[in-house]
Amino acid sequence: MPAPASTLTSAPSAPPTPIAHAAAAFDFWPLDPAYTFLNHGSFGSVPHVLRAMQDRYRDEVERHPIEVLGRQCRERLTRVREEVARFIGVDAPGLGLVTNATEGINAVLRSLELRPGDVLVTTDHVYNAVIQTMRYVARRAGAEVRIVPIPTPVRSPKDIVAAIASSIDARTRLVLVDHVTSPTAVVFPAAEIGAECARRGVEFLCDGAHAPSMLELDVSALQATYYAGNLHKWTCAPKGCGFVWANADTRGRVHPATVSHFLDSGFDAEFDWQGTRDISAWLTVPDAIALWRSIGAAEVRRHNRDLARWAGRLLRDRWQTEPLVELDDAEAEPLLGSMVAVTLPDAVRRGHESPEALQAALYATHRIEIPIIAWAGRWHCRASCQVYNRPEHYERLAAAIERLGG
Ligand SMILES: Cc1ncc(COP(=O)(O)O)c(C=O)c1O
């Protein structure tokens, strides 16, 4: 009998076939093959070919510093912005290049003119640096941060939207959510949250630090007021490539965290020049986008998501614990990206005084790099899945945790 349409079958489950032309992965990335690298999500490695391109741009700047960084800067960065804008589905004049998502989010939050009693809403899956920024801007204004719990395992996008919707009231100024959550690796239903915010007349800041290249991103479909993200995670651009976008109604009010010559000269102009900066990483971004297109971005996304589901089930079954997102039900399908978080067995926690100590032990003793995260009273690991990862990497992790807990 065929399986019911709404249910994914949990077994047998095979890992996805590696993408053939990306199979020589450790030739492609400088990662040390002596280590099992399961943390592309924090800071991935930059492929050799893109590092070489960045070096070329650096050389260009050093050969003609005033010509490139002075006279050509605006035009060159405009071309980068236009490329990024097409890639993520926004208009280039509303796009600002920043060093990272933290800086982009700071620009938006610090530009808000909050009043005493205003409320900023987020969830308990928010990234730590971001909640700190929210607290900082709220306390300066006598405003408040409201944190909405989203229990795990997360089973349905509807549950997330309902929890956020029920926390919006007349005092709410802005809702901020991660598009892909950092501590728990859940893909949030950004379009539905954006629609709810638009319906209620509340601004929506979507933190897409992990989204570009992990998801097929069309920011224009999200009804976001603001969107910030990184190209140095899943797009593999050199580190220091972030962006922030603001819609046409708000961009006149949003200023970079570093104000420079071009205050009130237009959003893009203000962001393009924030003092003397190394622009070589951003100049490399069109090359990074082209690289993923040539490999097959959709195929990579599918491979990584299928590997995440397979790895999540493997770890759950080996450790007899819970993943933080439902892995077997079709309703939960949109919640999964290229990372998966799985609760660790209690025994391994008893043997280590902190998540950092366990993470360091895995690295030192087992040569496995993976973040160990304390969240909602439990410890879990967050496994990333990039095209260079193979099923045996997760088998190795499963065995190492079993040994460390024994
Ligand atoms: C959801 C989220 N927001 C923001 C950030 C910050 O990114 P960056 O350190 O590049 O500013 C991260 C980093 O992992 C993240 O996961």
Report d(CA 119, CA 101) in Å as an integer: 22
At residue 398, what is the residue type? A
Query: Residue 355 in 3-state DSSP?
Result: helix
Domains and CATH numbers, the chain: 20-38+297-405 (3.90.1150.170), 50-289 (3.40.640.10)
Q: Taking residues 268-292, report their average pLDDT.
A: 96
| pLDDT tens-digit series, residues 307-340 | 999 999 999 999 999 999 999 999 999 999 999 9
Q: What is the average per-residue pLDDT within 101-111?
A: 98
Whether 62 contacts 272, CB under 8 Å? no
| Mean pLDDT computed over 23-44 | 85
25, burial (CB in 10 Å: exposed 0-12, middle 13-18, buried 19+): middle
- Dump the DSSP string for 133-182: HHHHHHHHHT-EEEEE---SSB--HHHHHHHHHHT--TTEEEEEEESB-T
CB 124 within 8 A of CB 97: no
Give the residue-averaged pLDDT of 259-276: 96
- Report DSSP state, residue 6: T
pLDDT digits (tens, 9 = 90+) for 344-366: 999 998 889 999 999 999 999 99
**pLDDT digit string (tens) for 148-204?**
999 999 999 999 999 999 999 999 999 999 999 999 999 999 999 999 999 999 999
179 CA: nearest ligand 1 atom: 1
Give the span between the Cα atoms of 172 and 247, in whole angstroms. Answer: 19
Q: How far is the CA of 98 from the centre of ligand 1 (A)?
A: 13
Contact 92, 103 (CB under 8 A): no
**Which atom of ligand 1 lies nearest, measured to the CA of 182?**
16
Report which secondary-structure segment, H or E, holds 293.
helix 285-295
Q: What angle in degrees, to the nearest 10, is found between the helix axes of 355-366 and 391-405?
A: 120
Report the distance separating Cα 194 and Cα 223, nearest Å.
5
The DSSP call for residue 215 is B
Q: What tokens does 68 get?
A: 């490139």
pTM score of the predicted model: 0.95
Torsion sign across C-alpha atoms 233, 239, 240, 241: negative
Q: Looking at residue 18, what is its pLDDT?
A: 86
Nearest Cα to 400, choosing from 353, 375, 364?
Answer: 364
Q: Which atom of ligand 1 is nearest to the CA of 181?
A: 1
Q: What is the maximum alpha-carbon separation in the chain?
A: 71
284 Cα to the center of ligand 1, angstroms: 20
109 alpha carbon – ligand 1 mean position (Å): 15
Rounded to whole angstroms, how far apart are CA atoms 171 and 385?
A: 40
pLDDT at residue 11 greater than cutoff 50 = no
| Per-residue pLDDT, 27 | 67
Neighbours of 7 (CB within 10 A): 11
Instruction: Give bridge partners of residue 154 from the DSSP assignment.
Output: 325
CA of 185 relative to ligand 1 center, distance in Å: 12
pLDDT on residue 182: 98
Say if residues 173 and 203 touch (Cβ distance below 8 Å). Answer: yes
Average pLDDT over residues 287-297: 92
127 Cβ closer than 6 Å to some ligand 1 atom: yes
Distance 183 CA to ligand 1 centre (A): 10
CA 41 → CA 31, 181, 233, distances in Å? 14, 11, 6
* H/E element, 339: strand 339-343
